[in-house]
């Protein structure tokens, strides 16, 4: 099968098109013929080597964390899916590789594709949808009437998280450029701050939840917009000791994680707010709940551009530029 392969870490590394063996199908796997995949900042960060401490992948590596396609084979223990099913998924860590024509995914990580959207739209959902769900529903327990600040509202996670937060009954603030204000307001944002001219930390206060996806300076400012007892959940780091515990990191990695998050955790304690790092996990069950929201019209996919499979490197460069509104998708089949 054809795939795009990363041979070594590096910001300037291009992916190499190659013919590779079809993936092994384990007893509880479904083999998916990839119709579409999508790009995420996580792919760029893995390529750059930013996560090699906590996700030590072996090279060569096929990147890609989102898939929509058709089941072409099932393992002998699979009960939920059959050949011909249209599905979507975020494969588990260490089993990624959706920049390819086929991928084997654990049954528990797969869900039936929403009936009312295309393969390209479905491929845009899993990673950002699960990230927003696990942050706002699972960790923050966001309630009706609460206030949430979602950074970078026009990005992949932002466009999904705004819609989910509104569905949950929250008041939503976000940052966006003036050019993207109409987009994020159309998704449900109540307060939109033009980050190019206004400082959000001067405009927002008394918030219950912050979803942080930006750098360390932005994180430090964001802690200050929370009311005592509020929670900041960061998807961009720094990792915290609980995360290191959850992934059963080696002792040395646990000490490194403890050290790099010490300043953030100390500031959070001083402000009487909570800090947690989220590295989202694959979950077919949660994707099934997201499917219901998409089919009901509560959430819609937001896609910036669709690239052909042969232009995977060009798609990566476009994501790296930071100009994308919503998701960038690759049509594989």
pLDDT one-digit tens code per residue, 293-329: 999 999 999 999 999 999 999 999 999 998 899 999 9
DSSP H or E stretch at residue 259 = helix 251-260
> In whole angstroms, what is the distance from residue 290 CA to residue 112 CA?
11
Say yes or no to pLDDT of 269 above 90.
yes
Alpha-carbon distance values, 2 to 21, 177, 332 (Å)? 9, 38, 10
DSSP-based three-state secondary structure for 3: strand
User: Is the model's pTM score more than 0.85?
Assistant: yes
At 164, the pLDDT band (50, 70, 90 cuts) reads very high
> What per-residue confidence (pLDDT) applies to 55?
87
> In whole angstroms, what is the distance from residue 202 CA to residue 280 CA?
30
> What per-residue confidence (pLDDT) applies to 54?
83
> In whole angstroms, what is the distance from residue 136 CA to residue 116 CA?
25
> In whole angstroms, what is the distance from residue 100 CA to residue 95 CA?
13
Q: What is the mean pLDDT of residues 101-118?
A: 98
Say yes or no to pLDDT of 127 above 90.
yes
Q: What is the mean pLDDT of residues 217-238?
A: 97
Structural domains in the chain, CATH included, are 2-124+301-331 (3.90.180.10), 128-277 (3.40.50.720)
What is the chain's mean pLDDT, rounded? 97
**Sequence-distant (≥ 6) Cβ neighbours of residue 128 within 8 angstroms:** 40, 156, 157, 159, 160, 161, 327
> What per-residue confidence (pLDDT) applies to 322?
87
Q: What is the pLDDT of residues 41-85, one digit of tens each?
A: 999 999 999 988 888 899 999 999 999 999 999 999 999 999 999
Task: Identify which of 153, 203, 161 has the alpha carbon closest to the alpha carbon of residue 179.
Answer: 153
CB 100 within 8 A of CB 20: yes
Classify residue 317 by its DSSP letter.
Answer: H
> In whole angstroms, what is the distance from residue 190 CA to residue 171 CA?
6
Say yes or no to pLDDT of 184 above 90.
yes
Alpha-carbon distance values, 284 to 72, 141, 288, 290 (Å)? 18, 20, 6, 10
The phi and psi torsions of 206 (rounded to 5 degrees) equal: 70, 30
Angle at 170 between CA 169 and CA 176, to 5 degrees: 130
User: What is the end-to-end Cα distance of the chain in Å, rounded?
Assistant: 12
> What per-residue confidence (pLDDT) applies to 106?
98
DSSP-based three-state secondary structure for 77: coil
Query: How far from the centroid of its chain's Cα atoms is residue 52's Cα?
Result: 18
Classify residue 178 by its DSSP letter.
Answer: G
């Amino acid at each position: 099968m054809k795939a795009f392969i990363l041979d070594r870490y590096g910001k300037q590394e291009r992916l190499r098109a190659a013919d590779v063996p079809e993936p092994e199908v384990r007893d509880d796997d479904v083999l998916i013929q990839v119709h579409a995949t999508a790009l995420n900042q996580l792919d760029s960060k893995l390529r750059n080597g930013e996560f090699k401490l906590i996700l030590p992948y072996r090279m060569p590596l096929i990147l890609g964390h989102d898939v929509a396609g058709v089941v072409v084979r099932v393992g002998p223990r699979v009960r939920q899916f059959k050949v011909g099913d249209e599905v979507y998924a975020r494969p588990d860590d260490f089993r990624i590789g959706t920049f390819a024509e086929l991928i084997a995914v654990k049954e528990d990580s797969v869900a039936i594709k929403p009936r009312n959207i295309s393969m390209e739209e479905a491929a845009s959902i899993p990673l950002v949808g699960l990230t927003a769900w696990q942050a706002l529903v699972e960790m923050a327990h966001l309630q009706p009437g609460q206030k949430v600040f979602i950074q970078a509202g026009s990005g992949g996670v932002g466009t999904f998280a705004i819609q989910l937060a509104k569905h949950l009954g929250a008041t939503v603030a976000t940052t966006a450029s003036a050019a993207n204000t109409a987009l994020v307001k159309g998704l449900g944002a109540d307060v939109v701050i033009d980050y190019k001219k206004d400082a959000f930390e001067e405009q927002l206060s008394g918030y219950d939840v912050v979803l942080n996806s930006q750098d360390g300076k932005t994180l430090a400012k964001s802690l200050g917009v929370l009311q005592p007892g509020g929670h900041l959940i960061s998807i961009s780091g720094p990792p915290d000791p609980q995360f290191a515990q959850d992934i059963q990191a080696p002792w040395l990695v646990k000490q490194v994680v403890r050290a790099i998050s010490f300043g953030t955790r100390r500031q959070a304690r001083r402000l009487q707010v909570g800090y947690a790092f989220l590295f989202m996990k694959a979950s077919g069950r949660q994707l099934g709940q997201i499917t219901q929201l998409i089919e009901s019209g509560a959430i819609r996919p937001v896609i910036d551009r669709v690239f052909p499979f042969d232009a995977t490197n060009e798609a990566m460069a476009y994501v790296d530029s930071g100009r994308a509104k919503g998701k960038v998708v690759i049509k594989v089949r």
